[in-house]
């Protein structure tokens, strides 16, 4: 039943749906919702069966039109790609189910169909980016993703969002162009675009053209780094992620950034190879930047008043952790990076969704005005509190497992300095998350508040599922570490 | 003489990189949003030039087999084919950014980034 065409079917369904939504904008929203949910469920089931197939039978390559891989476009569906695919699909499905209710409150009603067009295009391009084994094809998916994710911000039609979206677009395009320049430089010396072919060529020729490859890598890392918000290139992130509609913020912060990080991992270790990258000293540079990012991201977050802006700055810090894992350039480091991609994806999604629920009910975005809010909306604040504790790294959540994982990895590598950074950053995390939790649960206004939860169940259930997944991984990390181990093996 | 020969032989690449830097400079230093988009376009063009140049072979024919010629050399057609796709991508980015500029102009009445920042500063103070 499950065959090797499944990745293409999934992409085709997403693309056809996106086209249909944009053509029939007059459809009633109730009908649209059903179509969205049915299609997402279908895609998810296909994803699960593809995942099971790949884990059981091993990776496979899909050549479009049966062209040879040196000249054609190729999908490489391995454990790493299907793992990332499951992460993207599961999380985006939960966010979209949440968005079906929340979006009525965020954007104009005539934009609903367009919004889901963009969401479907986004998932389409993220899956494409994950599967693609061809550099230029990857660039195309990346461009689709960047335009879709910019328009998903500007769709809100508020003053701030247009400007934030424009800034995001300019920086994103600079990033894409810089990646394209890197691809051109690599193509110049290797004459190949397929990742495996490049890897074969580059291990032979890199001694003859070290400058060329160095420049190519610099362009590519700066390009992807801009998109993934690695520390000095993060300036667009707080604006873009905080003014977007809440479900978009969750999608952008939880998933889109991770897909770019995944692309960097693939490029550094699959295309160029760990020996060459290590020889050029790139991982060390990434690790230093990441360490600075973890600290400064948290410090910026402390200064924020707007809850979504604070969460966005906290993303900068957490992306630093992931890059720290990448920068160690060892098997354990990469395993941590993949683990934290999932862990941070879940926790940050839970935080954004619960913050969105608070805004949905009370229109309050200022963290100083959240006193006693837990009395009003206990379920939402429970989710927020557990997720915030996860960010700090309290045992029982996946955040704790990530931190102890990273701690043991850096100690194995004998780089105890990074452990100090991790602990300091955890303290800083506590510094800006704890006041919100304490004031929401402990302080209350003079009149005793009654439970007045107007959040629809369709918004609460996805939040609870996300936080439940995070707790499940916190107690049983082997749920995902086993597959991560197999996946990373294929990379190094 | 050697240097001069080197420059003349690689004039495409040098030109492409010069354009890239000019474009980047335009994007980063100009406050006018339209000029930023123009800068992006210059950068895109420079990369297209660079990419197409990698496929160039001196004294080669276009990749069409001519039965009358023996030992034909062809230029590499792949970069040109890729750049066709690249141009489409560049077009869509330009169109989208121009439409955003129209929106920004409707909202703020200006497309100068410094003035917009000033307005936003006043808004948050008052």
Residue A275: partners with Cβ closer than 8 Å, 6 or more residues away: A203
In a domain, B65, yes or no: no
In a domain, A295, yes or no: yes
Q: What is the pLDDT of residue B56?
A: 85
Answer yes or no: is A444 within a domain: yes
pLDDT of residue B126: 35
Task: Looking at the complex, report in whole angstroms how far the Cα of residue A432 sits from the nearest Cα belonging to chain B.
Answer: 23
What is the spatial distance between Cα A274 and Cα A137, in angstroms, rounded to a whole number? 23
Mean pLDDT within A322-335: 89
How many angstroms separate the CA atoms of A310 and A431, rounded?
12
Answer for the pair A156, A76: CB distance below 8 angstroms, yes or no: no
- Cβ-based interface (< 8 Å): residues of A facing B: 71, 136, 139-140, 143, 147, 150-151, 154, 159, 162-163, 165-166, 169-170, 173-174, 177, 180-181, 184, 187-188, 191, 193
Instruction: Indicate the DSSP class of residue A312.
Output: H
- Closest to A90 measured CA to CA, from A468, A420, A426, A490: A468
Q: What's residue A450's pLDDT? A: 64
Q: Give the pLDDT band of residue A191 (cuts 50, 70, 90).
A: confident
- Which residue of A150, A153, A166, A227 is the best one to mutate when testing the B interface, meaning the one whose CB has the most B CBs within 10 A? A166
Sequence-distant (≥ 6) Cβ neighbours of residue A434 within 8 angstroms: A388, A392
In a domain, A275, yes or no: no
Tokens, residue A349: 């999604």
Q: Which domain holds residue B84?
A: 2-58+75-125
Q: What is the pLDDT of residue B96?
A: 93
pLDDT band at A376 (very low <50, low <70, confident <90, very high): confident
Write down the mean pLDDT value for chain A. 88
For residue A460, being part of any structural domain is answered with yes
Interchain contact B107–A (C-beta under 8 A): yes
**Residue A238 pLDDT greater than 50, yes or no:** yes
Residue B63 domain flag: no
A261 lies in a domain? no
Query: Are A236 and A229 a contacting pair, CB within 8 Å?
Result: yes
Instruction: Read off the pLDDT of residues A40-65 as tens digits, 9 standing for 90 and up.
Output: 999 999 999 999 999 888 888 888 88
B105 touches chain A (CB under 8 A): no
pLDDT mean over A379-386: 89
Q: What is the mean pLDDT of residues A416-425?
A: 88
The number of distinct structural domains making up chain B is: 1
Q: What is the DSSP string of A86-153?
A: HHHHHHHHHHHHHHHHHHHHHS-GGGHHHHHHHHHHHHHHHHHHHHB-BHHHHHHHHHHHHHHHHHHH
pLDDT along chain B (126 residues), means of 10: 85 91 92 92 93 86 83 86 91 93 90 85 53
In a domain, A182, yes or no: no
Question: N- to C-terminal Cα distance for chain B?
Answer: 66
Q: Is residue B90 part of a domain?
A: yes
Kindly state the greatest CA–CA separation across chain A.
76
Please indicate whether, in this complex, the C-beta atoms of A162 and B104 are within 8 angstroms of each other.
Answer: yes
A166 to B100: CB separation less than 8 angstroms, yes or no: yes
State how far the Cα of A317 lies from the Cα of A66, in Å rounded to an integer.
44
Percent of chain A exceeding pLDDT 90 equals 31
Token pair, residue A448, equals 């005793």
SS (H, E, C) A445-485: CCCCCCCCCCCCHHHHHHHHHHHHHHHHHHHCCHHHHHHHH
Look up the CATH number of the domain holding residue B10. 1.10.287.3510
Work out the angle between the directed axes of helices B33-54 and A159-190 (0-180°, nearest 10): 20
Chain A residue closest in CA terms to B108 = A159
Could you tell me if A412 and A354 are in contact, meaning their C-beta atoms sit under 8 angstroms apart? Answer: no
Residue of B nearest to A163 (CA): B104
Asked if A59 contacts A270 with a C-beta cutoff of 8 angstroms, the reply is: no
User: Structural domain of residue A359, as residue ranges?
Assistant: 281-492
Mean local confidence (pLDDT), A24-35: 83
Q: What is the sign, positive or negative, of the torsion defined by CA atoms of A207, A208, A211, A214?
A: negative
Give one DSSP letter per residue of A37-66, joined into a string: HHHHHHHHHHHHHHHHHHHHH--EEEEGGG
- The length of chain A, given as a count of residues: 492
- Predicted ipTM? 0.92
3-state secondary structure of A372: coil
Predicted confidence (pLDDT) per residue in A67-77, tens digit: 888 888 889 99
Instruction: Band the pLDDT of A451: cuts 50, 70, 90.
Output: low
Q: Indicate if the pLDDT at residue A130 is higher than 60.
A: yes
Q: Are A440 and A371 in contact (CB under 8 A)?
A: yes
Residue % of chain A over a pLDDT of 70 = 98
Do A436 and A380 form a contact (C-beta atoms < 8 A)?
Answer: no
Angle at Cα A228 formed by Cα A432 and Cα A114, nearest 5°?
A: 95
Element (H or E) spanning A240, and its range? Answer: helix A236-243
- For chain A, what is the domain count? 1
Q: Which residues of B touch A215 (CB under 8 A)?
A: none
- Is residue B96 one of the residues assigned to a domain? yes
Q: What six digits make up the tokens of A296?
A: 């400064």
pLDDT tens per residue across span A19-28: 988 888 777 8
In a domain, A404, yes or no: yes
Q: Give the B window 63-102 contacts with A, CB below 8 Å.
A: 76, 78-79, 82, 85-86, 89, 92-93, 96-97, 100-101
pLDDT tens digits for A92-113?
A: 999 999 998 888 888 887 888 8
Residues in chain A within 8 Å Cβ distance of B101: 166
Q: How far apart are CA A267 and CA A450, in angstroms?
A: 54
Residue A400 lies in a domain: yes
């Amino acid at each position: 039943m499950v065959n090797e065409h499944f990745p293409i079917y999934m992409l085709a369904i997403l693309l056809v749906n996106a086209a249909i939504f944009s053509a029939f904008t007059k459809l009633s929203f109730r009908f649209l919702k059903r179509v969205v949910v049915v299609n997402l469920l279908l895609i998810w089931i296909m994803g699960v069966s593809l995942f099971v197939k790949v884990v059981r039978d091993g990776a496979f390559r899909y050549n479009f039109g049966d062209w040879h891989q040196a000249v054609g476009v190729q999908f490489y569906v391995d454990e790493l790609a299907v793992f990332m695919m499951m992460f993207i699909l599961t999380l985006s499905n939960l966010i979209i189910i949440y968005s079906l209710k929340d979006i009525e409150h965020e954007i104009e009603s005539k934009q609903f169909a367009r919004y889901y067009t963009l969401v479907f295009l986004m998932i389409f391009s993220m899956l494409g980016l994950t599967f693609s084994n061809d550099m230029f094809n990857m660039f195309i998916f990346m461009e689709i993703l960047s335009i879709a994710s910019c328009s998903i911000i500007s769709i809100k039609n508020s003053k701030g969002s247009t400007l934030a979206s424009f800034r995001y677009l300019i920086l994103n395009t600079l990033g894409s162009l810089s990646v394209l320049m890197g691809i051109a430089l690599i193509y110049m010396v290797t004459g190949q675009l397929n990742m495996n072919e490049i890897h074969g060529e580059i291990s032979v020729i890199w001694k003859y053209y070290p400058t060329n490859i160095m420049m190519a890598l610099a362009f590519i890392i700066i390009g992807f780094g801009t998109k993934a918000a690695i520390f000095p290139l993060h300036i667009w992130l707080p604006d873009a992620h905080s003014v977007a509609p809440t479900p978009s913020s969750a999608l952008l912060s939880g998933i889109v950034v991770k897909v770019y990080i995944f692309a960097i991992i693939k490029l550094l270790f699959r295309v160029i190879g760990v020996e060459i990258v290590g020889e050029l000293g790139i991982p060390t540079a990434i690790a230093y930047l990441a360490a600075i990012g973890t600290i400064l991201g948290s410090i910026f977050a402390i200064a924020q008043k707007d809850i979504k802006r604070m969460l966005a700055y906290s993303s900068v810090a957490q992306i630093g952790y992931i890059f720290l894992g990448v920068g160690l350039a060892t098997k354990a480091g990469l395993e941590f990076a993949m683990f934290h991609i999932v862990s941070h994806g879940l926790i940050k999604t839970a935080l954004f969704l619960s913050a969105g629920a608070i805004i949905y009910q009370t229109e309050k975005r200022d963290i100083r005005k959240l006193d006693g809010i837990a009395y009003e909306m206990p379920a939402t604040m429970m989710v927020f509190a557990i997720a915030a504790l996860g960010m700090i790294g309290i045992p029982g959540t996946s955040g704790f497992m990530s931190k102890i994982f990273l701690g043991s990895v850096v100690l194995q590598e004998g780089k105890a300095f990074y452990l100090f950074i991790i602990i300091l950053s955890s303290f800083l995390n506590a510094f800006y998350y704890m006041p919100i939790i304490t004031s929401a649960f402990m302080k209350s206004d003079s009149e005793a508040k009654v439970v007045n939860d107007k959040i629809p169940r369709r918004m609460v259930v996805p939040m609870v599922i996300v936080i439940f997944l995070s707790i499940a991984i916190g107690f049983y990390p082997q749920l995902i570490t086993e597959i991560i181990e197999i996946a990373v093996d294929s990379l190094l | 003489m050697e240097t001069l020969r080197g420059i003349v032989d690689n004039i495409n690449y040098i030109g492409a990189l010069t354009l890239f830097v000019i474009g980047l400079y335009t994007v980063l230093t100009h406050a006018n949003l339209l000029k930023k988009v123009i800068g992006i376009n210059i950068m895109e063009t420079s990369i297209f030039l660079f990419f197409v140049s990698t496929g160039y072979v001196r004294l080669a024919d276009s990749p069409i087999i001519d039965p009358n010629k023996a030992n034909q050399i062809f230029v590499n057609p792949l970069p040109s084919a890729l750049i066709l796709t690249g141009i489409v991508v560049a077009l869509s980015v330009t169109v989208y950014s121009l439409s955003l500029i129209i929106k920004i102009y409707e909202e703020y009445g200006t497309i100068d980034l410094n003035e917009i920042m000033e307005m936003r500063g006043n808004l948050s103070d008052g």
